[in-house]
C-alpha cells in the first residue's frame, strides 16, 4: 500500500510511519516530491490493515495497491471459466438464456411457462419458491410444493432449474431439486449464506446487490470460491440510482468491466434491471451486444395475474421474439445462441 503524507507533515511524522511499516514486517520505500512524501509499504502479498497507518499523525490517506479479491480475478486465472449446464456451456462462445416466472404460483402455471420457454428456445427454467418480499403482507412463495412442480417441469421439458436460496437451511433441500442455486441481490452480502453456498459446491448464480460495486460483487464471489465452489456465474440486475423512470438502472458498463476483471461468466437480468416489460427486450439485446454470456428473463403467460413482478414479465410470444433478437445480436458479435436441441432430457 502507498501512504501519502500531508504536505505539511514533519520529518518526525514521516519517520514514525516508516517505523510502523517496518514493525509490521513490510519494507518502506520513501519518495519525496516537491509537495509531499509518499511511503510505499511493500509486503509479501498478505493483507495488512490500512487503519494501522491511516490514523498516524501527518498521514493524508492510504491507497491500496493490491486488489482485495484473488480467486475471481483474471490475474489469477486468465482464461474464461466455462461450466456445463445440461448440454450447454455457460461462459463459452455460446449464449445461454434462462427464463421463467418470478414465483412458482401453481402446477399448471409452471408447466405452462416451462413448455412455452422451452419452445421459444430457453436453456434453463427459473422460478422462485422462497420469495424475498419487501412487504410482510405479500405472497411469500410455495416452498417445497413449488419445488415438486419445478421437478415435474424439468422432467417434462428437460430444462435445468434455477431457484433462489434465501437461507442456509434450505440448501440441502434445494440442491436435491435444482441445478443452479441463485443468491439474490438482497443476499449478496449475507456472508453466512455465501459461506454455505460455497461449501455446497453446487452451481451458483450470484446476483449483484442493488448498491453493490463491481468490486463488492467480486468479493462476494470470492467468498463462494474460497469455500471451494468454483462454479459461480455473476449476474448484473440493475443498481439503485437517482433515476426513477425505471425501477433500477442497468449498469451496462459492468458487463465489459466484469469480463475484463474476472474469468467467471457474466449474465444480465433485464427484467429486474428495468422493472418494466416494455424495456426488457431492448436491454436484453444491449447486454448481449456488450458481451454478456447470457440472459435471465422473467416470463409469465398471464403477467396481469402474476402474484409478483407481473409488470416486468414478458409474455411467451414476446420472449420468443427476444430469443430471435438475441440470436441476431449474438451473430453480430461473433457468438451464437445454443439451439434448443442441445438440451438433454434428464
Site mask, its own copies, residues 288-327, x = CB under 8 A?
A: xxxx-----------xxxxx-xxx-------------x--
| CB-side neighbour CA atoms (13 Å) of 281 | 16
- Rule CB under 8 A: say whether 230 interacts with its own copies: no
- Rule CB under 8 A: say whether 227 interacts with its own copies: yes
144: cell is 417445497
Residue span binding its own copies (CB under 8 A) among the ranges 92-100, 110-118, 187-195, 338-346: 187-195
Which residue has 434462462 as its cell numbers? 98
- Tell me the C-alpha distance between 300 and 309, whole Å: 9
For the chain, give the number of residues: 346
98: cell is 434462462
- Rule CB under 8 A: say whether 190 interacts with its own copies: yes
- Rule CB under 8 A: say whether 38 interacts with its own copies: yes
CB closer to its own copies out of 10 and 156: 10
CB closer to its own copies out of 159 and 166: 166
In terms of phi and psi (left: phi > 0; alpha: psi -120 to 50; beta: otherwise), the region of 41 is beta
**161 membership: H or E segment, kind and range:** strand 161-165
Alpha-carbon separation of residue 193 from 7, 181, 187, 197 (angstroms): 45, 11, 8, 6
Out of 206, 214, 235, 299, the only residue in the binding site for its own copies (CB under 8 A) is 214
| Cα diameter, the chain | 76
Site for its own copies in 242-261 (CB under 8 A): 242-246, 249-257, 260-261
- Tell me the C-alpha distance between 75 and 232, whole Å: 17
CB closer to its own copies out of 27 and 108: 27
Out of 10, 15, 22, 33, the only residue in the binding site for its own copies (CB under 8 A) is 33
To its own copies, the closest distance from the beta carbon of 153 in angstroms equals: 23
- Rule CB under 8 A: say whether 11 interacts with its own copies: no
Backbone angles phi, psi at 155, to 5 degrees: -65, -40
- Rule CB under 8 A: say whether 22 interacts with its own copies: no
Residue span binding its own copies (CB under 8 A) among the ranges 81-89, 120-128, 174-182, 220-228: 220-228
Question: Can you name the residues that pair with 85 across neighbouring β-strands?
Answer: 88
Q: Is the CB of residue 268 less than 8 Å from the CB of residue 235?
A: yes
Site for its own copies in 45-104 (CB under 8 A): 45, 47, 49-52, 54-56, 63, 65-66, 68-69, 75, 78
Residue span binding its own copies (CB under 8 A) among the ranges 2-10, 120-128, 151-159, 174-182: 2-10
Out of 11, 12, 23, 44, the only residue in the binding site for its own copies (CB under 8 A) is 44
- Tell me the C-alpha distance between 250 and 240, whole Å: 9
- Tell me the C-alpha distance between 201 and 28, whole Å: 41
Alpha-carbon separation of residue 208 from 31, 215, 251, 316 (angstroms): 39, 10, 10, 26
Number of residues in contact with its own copies under rule CB under 8 A: 111
Residue span binding its own copies (CB under 8 A) among the ranges 93-101, 109-117, 145-153, 241-249: 241-249
- Rule CB under 8 A: say whether 4 interacts with its own copies: yes
For strands 83-85 and 161-165, give the pairing. Answer: unpaired
- Rule CB under 8 A: say whether 8 interacts with its own copies: yes
CB closer to its own copies out of 24 and 342: 24
- Rule CB under 8 A: say whether 144 interacts with its own copies: no
Amino acid at each position: 500500500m502507498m501512504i501519502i503524507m500531508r504536505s505539511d507533515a514533519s520529518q518526525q511524522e514521516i519517520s514514525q510511519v516508516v517505523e510502523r511499516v517496518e514493525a509490521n514486517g513490510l519494507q518502506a520505500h520513501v519518495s519525496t516530491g516537491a509537495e509531499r512524501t509518499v511511503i510505499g509499504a511493500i509486503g509479501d502479498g498478505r493483507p495488512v490493515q490500512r487503519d494501522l497507518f491511516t490514523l498516524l499523525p501527518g498521514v493524508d490517506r492510504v491507497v491500496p495497491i493490491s486488489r482485495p479479491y484473488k480467486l475471481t480475478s483474471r490475474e489469477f486465472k486468465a482464461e474464461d471459466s466455462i461450466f456445463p449446464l445440461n448440454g450447454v456451456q455457460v461462459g463459452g462462445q455460446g449464449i445461454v438464456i434462462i427464463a421463467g416466472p418470478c414465483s412458482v404460483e401453481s402446477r399448471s402455471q409452471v408447466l405452462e411457462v416451462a413448455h412455452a420457454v422451452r419452445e421459444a428456445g430457453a436453456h434453463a427454467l427459473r422460478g422462485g419458491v422462497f420469495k424475498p418480499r419487501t412487504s410482510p403482507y405479500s405472497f411469500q412463495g410455495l416452498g417445497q410444493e413449488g419445488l415438486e412442480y419445478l421437478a415435474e417441469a424439468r422432467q417434462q421439458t428437460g430444462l435445468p432449474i434455477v431457484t433462489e436460496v434465501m437461507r442456509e437451511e434450505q440448501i440441502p433441500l434445494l440442491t436435491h431439486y435444482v441445478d443452479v442455486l441463485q443468491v439474490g441481490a438482497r443476499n449478496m452480502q449475507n456472508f453466512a449464506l455465501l459461506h454455505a453456498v460455497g461449501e455446497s459446491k453446487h452451481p451458483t448464480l450470484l446476483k449483484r446487490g442493488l448498491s453493490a460495486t463491481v468490486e463488492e460483487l467480486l468479493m462476494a464471489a470470492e467468498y463462494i470460491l474460497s469455500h471451494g465452489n468454483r462454479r459461480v456465474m455473476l449476474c448484473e440486475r440493475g443498481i439503485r440510482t437517482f433515476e426513477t423512470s425505471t425501477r433500477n438502472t442497468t449498469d451496462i458498463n459492468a458487463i465489459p468491466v466484469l469480463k475484463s476483471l474476472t474469468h467467471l461468466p457474466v449474465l444480465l437480468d433485464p427484467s429486474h434491471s428495468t422493472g418494466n416489460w416494455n424495456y426488457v427486450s431492448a436491454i436484453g439485446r444491449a447486454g448481449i451486444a456488450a458481451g454478456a454470456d447470457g440472459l435471465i428473463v422473467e416470463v409469465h403467460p398471464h403477467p396481469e395475474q402474476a402474484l409478483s413482478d407481473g409488470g416486468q414479465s414478458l409474455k411467451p410470444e414476446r420472449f420468443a421474439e427476444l430469443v430471435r433478437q438475441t440470436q441476431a445480436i449474438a451473430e453480430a458479435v461473433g457468438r451464437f445462441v445454443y439451439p434448443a436441441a442441445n438440451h438433454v432430457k434428464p
